[in-house]
Each structure stands twice: as structure tokens, then as C-alpha cells.
Amino acid sequence: MALSRLNRIIAVVVLIFAIIYGWKCLFEARRPPCYTIDVKYFGSNIPTSSDNEDFSIKPFKIPFERSQVDDMVNRVSKTRFYEPQILIDNNLVNKSTYGFNRQTIEMVRDYLINTYDWKKTVQELNTFDHYKTNIAGLDIHFVRVTHSSRINENKEAILFLHGWPSSFLEYLDVARLLNSSSNTNYDLIIPSLPGYGYSDAPLRPGMNPTQIARIMQNLMQRLGHSSYVVCGGDWGAAIGTSMAQLYPGHVRGLLITMSAVATTWKHYLQLALGHYVNPSILLDYDEQEFLVRRFNAFDFAKILWREGGYFHLQATKPDTIGYALNDSPIGLAAYILEKWSRWSNNEIDIDQSINSGLDRFTLDQLLSNVVLYWTTGTITSSMRLYFEYASQISSGHDDKILKGPLAASVPVAIVNYRNEILYAPRTIVRSKYPNIKLWLCHTTGGHFASMEKPREYARDIEKFLLQL
């Protein structure tokens, strides 16, 4: 009798657990993930109430100061180059073995002194409509590109988010192409991230990608867009991902050119099996065709070792290197251009090129980005984003959003380029982005594809919009 009663109790307990488990499997799995973040203020004086906030949008013109240019040229002309140079033997030592090539930076120095015209660049940039608006205590700069003859028509709102060491300049050519399109009427918003270019630098700690996501959502709402598409690479991809997680009802679509996924033991197992057993365990056929010989676990580790030093430096002591970069224009140019070179080419391209592979861009494009950092003095504040991101990870406070997936309701496009820094297999990426509508692989292009390949980039955006 007692045993029978015990069996009934066990059966009831098992039934309860079965119901709970079934509920989670059938209903909770279908429910979109819910993420929240603590709201932070980054200005000098915290307002006592929302009534004191300034919601106005003010026109802005990029300033030109002759004294800044004269000082920059004077510093460039007095550059003290290192000696001696290591001899190149094309066996153990090539042009890029020790870092950015000396002959290339000497050419950049001569161009800065004798040819480059920042005043002309400022005049050209001011042909765009620039604005500033205050969000979270910071004046946020943005460019707005819209077709003037279609002001009253419904517009496809697209937010472009740049990364480091880039700027809003990266998307201007794409904006021109989309604005000239006869297919759709666009409202294109291209902001400078906080601490970059003409946006204010945070005065308080904690400006990580999720906080920037909140700021960008506020910006789009302030401009009258409750629904919009986000495009970005590098930090722009991370921020856009956070926006899609935090505001899935507003992000109509997300297009990114570099996907970063928090890896789990399952992913490491897939990577190991794909490397040691058979690539098809990890990679679909089209991915194998795209990667050819590039997928190799040891190559992946080698890339992290060779190219990850800047990340560790900026994630731990950004202000220390900031003193040097903020004081030397040639030091700043070498530091930034080395990334544009390495992240747009493979090693053979760099070593065979007379200018370290920078011919994928014009020198005016490259130096406009460098001089923007110089004249605004924002290299240090831009690098602090790495410190804030590393602090966010180590705190564990935002693990849910950093490691969790997007809602399945958000369509995603992943655009891969041959010379991107890293490639994440679709099998792994899908764990973060469950609703991949478009997966593209380009056999050319690199990390800064929107500037290197603006026509292809614009076509990919329009291709993605047709999927929404």
C-alpha cells in the first residue's frame, strides 16, 4: 500500500516536470528573447528630469582651421624616423614582417606635405547635410542623405554604422549611389559613433556597444523612424546586432559584413571536426568553394596572434598609446593605415604591392579618414570603445545579450568578403542570427568593403531589401 502511494507521488512529480519541460519546449522556445540594459548618461551634468533634455536637431558644418593644418604639416615635416631598417631578404623577412612599411609611410608623408588638401575635403564634405542632436548627454553628429524631390514620399530608412579605425566617411559613396537609385526612396542616416569624429566623447565610463545601440535607437526615433534597416561592419556590426536584440520591433532588417559569435563548447567541437575530420561537418559546399584553402584552425590562431595585438592594447591601456598617436600625425597615419592595409589584403598582396596594398583606395580617401581623427583629436576616445567592451565582457553583467541570439523575427544578411579579417562558418553564425535571409560571398573586397566596393555594397543592400 505504501509502495503504491509512493509510486503515485513519483508519477505526479514526473508529470509536473514533464508539463514544465513541455511548456518550455513548445512555447518558451517560440517566444522571442527579451533583453534590457541599464540606461546611462555620459555628459558632464546629469539632468534632474527629462524636462531639461534638449531634443532639438541642429544643422552642423564641418569646421576648417588653417592653424590645425599648418601645425599638422609642420609636425609631419619634422618626423623622426626609426633607424636602422631591417634588410628584406624575401625569405625570413618581407616588407610587412615588422609592421607598416617604411617606404610606404614616407610616400604618405610626402603626399601629406605637398599634395593633400584638407580644406578641399571639408568643402566637399559640407555638400552633405550634417546635423547634431544631444542624446544621453552627448552631441551626436550624423549625415542625412535624402532625395530632395521626394521629401513627402514614404522613405526606406537605413542606418549605417562604421567601426574602428574608420568613420562616417566610409559610407558616403554608398549613400550617393543609393540616393541616385530610381528603385526606392531612401532616408540614409550616417552617424559618427560617440567618441569618433564630430560626436562628443563620453565623459563617464561604460560607453559599450549596447549603450551605443540605445543612443542610435533614440536617434532614429527622433528622426521619425519607428522602423529601419541597419547596416554595419566591425563595431557597426556589433552595435547593429545589439539594436536588433534590444529593439526587434523597430529593426526591420540587419546587414553586417563581419559576424562575431560567442563560441561555445559545441562550436569548438564543430571547428575541431571541420579541421581534423571533414570540412563538410562545418562548412556547406558553397562555403568550401569560397574559402578554398583558407579554413584552417592553425591559420585562425595565427591570424589572432599576428593581428590581435592592437585589440589587447586598446582593451587594456588605450590612453597610453593615445598620447603618442595624438601627438604625431605620421604615427597616427601609420597606425591607422596599417589596419586598412592588413584588413583589405592578404599577406602576398601587401608584399607584392609598391604601397602595401593601399591602392585599393585613393590616398585622398585614406588620408581624409586619418586627418579627421587628427583634427578632431578623437583617436584616444575612439580606442576606449575596446576597453569598455572588454569591461562589459569581464563583468558578466550583460552576458545574456552578448551571448544570446536575435529574435527570429529580425531578418539578417551576412555579406562575406575574401579579405575580411576572419570568417565565421554559417553553421556557427546561425546560432546568433537564426533568421539569415541572405548569405553572400564575394571573391574580392575586405574589411572596409563599403569604401572599397561601394557599388557591390549598394547592390547587396537593395538585394536584401527585396527579401524584407
Tell whether the torsion through CA atoms of 84, 90, 92 and 93 is positive or negative: positive
Distances in whole angstroms, Cα of residue 156 to Cα of each of 124, 125, 185, 377, 453: 25, 23, 6, 34, 22
447 as an active site residue: the answer is yes
Q: Enumerate the H helices of 126-208 as residue ranges.
A: 172-179
80 neighbors 330 (Cβ within 8 angstroms): no
439: left (phi over 0), alpha (psi -120 to 50) or beta: beta
Compute the distance between CA of residue 328 and CA of residue 56 in angstroms, rounded to an integer: 37
Between CA 445 and CA 450 the distance in angstroms is 9
Q: Give Cβ neighbours of residue 360 (< 8 Å, ≥ 6 apart).
A: 344, 345, 446, 452
- Residues near 84 by Cβ (< 8 Å), separated by ≥ 6? none
Is 335 designated active site? Answer: no
Amino acid at 175: A
For 28, 83, 321, 326, 411, the CA distances from 332, given in Å and listed in that order, are: 50, 19, 10, 7, 38
Q: Which of 442, 447, 457, 460 is flagged as catalytic?
A: 447
Which of 187, 200, 234, 398 does the annotation list as catalytic? Answer: 234
Cα 314 to Cα 320: distance, rounded to the nearest angstrom = 9
Whether residue 234 contacts residue 447, with contact meaning beta carbons closer than 8 Å, is answered with yes
Of 186, 247, 386, 423, the active-site residue reads: 386
Residue type, 85: Q
CA distance 369 to 362: 11
- Would you please indicate which residues are annotated as catalytic (active-site) residues? 234, 386, 447
